Structure 1
């Protein structure tokens, strides 16, 4: 099953007097890029949470946002972080003494400094780090399940669309295969008629040289190898779309190869019908490339 790189998931859990909200969204990206935004004091869990995401997502930019909200009626009392306040005062003293700054910290300034005051719930959460770690993993897991469900649903739509366009490519391929044997026959008749018009009896007709000329033309415009490789690429694309591994990058490579084979067919065979079919094939390949760029 192929997955899209676009998806969204959210969840929320309760921890003491706080509501922990989780939000995960992913968009297209060449590689797997995970960006985490969570409270500063929870940065210690960042690496483990990133590995959780990478275990499920192989390609795309994934933004993980974790917020903490105080629930109604549970604001709780705050306590002073003495070590943090002491470090602020010592830093202010050094600035005054060594760098010549003037001024003093007021009570209001100290209370407004980050980390100077800590809620009892935060202190309790810090003490029960094992419980917090489990809750963060649980919330992120619920988010990832919703994200993967959406990516899978979108991937199914993309797979159906790409399969339909592959069917169209095979129809065009069959049309080109049908015209290919006629190219040499038409060239033989055109050349024979042209020589007949030019022959005023001043030069002899040489059937052997005429046959050599047609043989050279047939070799130059032969597209059997290109048609065979295109048929093989169609089968590989279908296998990738039905497989369980990420298909986006491999599909991109196959589309480039199919474009190359189509260009070669157009340059080797100047038959009008074949040229028109190759143009249609290139248009379909461009549409496939645009859709495949959304696959993981």
Structure 2
């Protein structure tokens, strides 16, 4: 499957009292260029994230934006530690029973005791965020956004492949037209040359059939396009094989398109027929359209 180089993906996760948002977008580029933007204290994860991206994307400019904001629902606002309150009250009762002490604990007394108020993360028993914790979270969030990006690139890539294959079919029709016209060019030249010589011959010089045949043979050799047509057809088949493969094919397609243009130009320089010239122009226009589409393929 061939992929487009254009795509977009996003995802978000909650961790450590923050909402972490991932945004990944890619555009055309000759090589694989990764640009990361994230909070400064997370720059230590850049190499790990870059390697993760390069495992999935071989060509294109990839912009990754990672932001975080305080999550109000799972933030670190203080909450009451009910188990600690019960422990303090139980300890007060034991002091009264064992040592005969009097007095009552007030709300102010209890709230001033350590451990009574804690963050929501601690209240639900979560551990402090360590370096490894953030590494796993960032990798997970990036993977989710990359999956969305790759899905979009695959979907657009299928459209590009279908369009290029349709244009290859049209090129084959033009190729068949050229193959049919190639022999006609020589026969037309022979007939026109014979007619012109007949018109010019006023009886002062004999018509030399041998020289006439030699001239036609030289012209036939000079305008022969069999080799160019054979190479063109081979390039068409190679393009189709590349498009149906599983490897990045953008650069190879670009090379094949250059070769097809070269063969087409050679045919144009050799042909001496208006219909053949028109077919050459149509083929060059179609190749240019394919080149524009191939520039979007990874």
TM exceeding 0.5: yes
CA contact (8 A) 1:125 1:132 kept: no
Which whole-Å CA distance do the structure 1 matches of 2:73 and 2:233 have between them? Answer: 68
Which whole-Å CA distance do the structure 2 matches of 1:288 and 1:23 have between them? Answer: 31
Which whole-Å CA distance do the structure 1 matches of 2:185 and 2:211 have between them? Answer: 19
Which position in structure 1 is the counterpart of 2:297?
Answer: 295
Which position in structure 1 is the counterpart of 2:270?
Answer: 268
Which whole-Å CA distance do the structure 1 matches of 2:135 and 2:267 have between them? Answer: 60
Residue of structure 2 aligned with 1:136, choices 135, 138, 141: 138
Residue 241 (1) aligns with residue 266 (2): no
Which position in structure 1 is the counterpart of 2:181?
Answer: 179
Which position in structure 1 is the counterpart of 2:28?
Answer: 28
The residue correspondences of 1:86-125 to structure 2 (distance < 5 A) are none
Distance change in 2, residues 1:236/1:217 (3 Å)? same
Query: What TM-score comes out, normalization by structure 2 length?
Result: 0.82
CA contact (8 A) 1:255 1:285 kept: yes
Residue of structure 2 aligned with 1:215, choices 192, 212, 217: 217
| Structure 1 residue 275, shift from structure 2 partner | 0.3
SS in 1 for 2:202: coil
Aligned length: 254
Runs ≥4 residues deviating over 3 A: 73-77, 124-127
Runs (5+) with no aligned partner, structure 2 = 78-118
Distance change in 2, residues 1:209/1:13 (3 Å)? same
The residue correspondences of 1:23-62 to structure 2 (distance < 5 A) are 23-62=23-62
| Structure 1 residue 130, shift from structure 2 partner | 1.2
SS in 2 for 1:222: coil
Which position in structure 1 is the counterpart of 2:16?
Answer: 16
Residue 3 (1) aligns with residue 3 (2): yes
CA contact (8 A) 2:14 2:71 kept: no
Which position in structure 1 is the counterpart of 2:207?
Answer: 205
Distance change in 2, residues 1:73/1:171 (3 Å)? closer
| Structure 1 residue 76, shift from structure 2 partner | 3.8
Runs (5+) with no aligned partner, structure 1 = 78-118
Which position in structure 1 is the counterpart of 2:109?
Answer: none
Which whole-Å CA distance do the structure 2 matches of 1:16 and 1:175 have between them? Answer: 68
Which position in structure 2 is the counterpart of 1:280?
Answer: 282
Which position in structure 2 is the counterpart of 1:158?
Answer: 160
CA contact (8 A) 1:18 1:69 kept: yes
| Structure 1 residue 16, shift from structure 2 partner | 2.5
Which whole-Å CA distance do the structure 1 matches of 2:284 and 2:191 have between them? Answer: 30
CA distances 1:80-122 after superposition (whole Å, capped 9, x unpaired): xxxxxxxxxxxxxxxxxxxxxxxxxxxxxxxxxxxxxxx998x
| Structure 1 residue 73, shift from structure 2 partner | 5.4
| Structure 1 residue 17, shift from structure 2 partner | 1.1
Which whole-Å CA distance do the structure 1 matches of 2:120 and 2:42 have between them? Answer: 16
Rg larger in 1 or in 2? 2
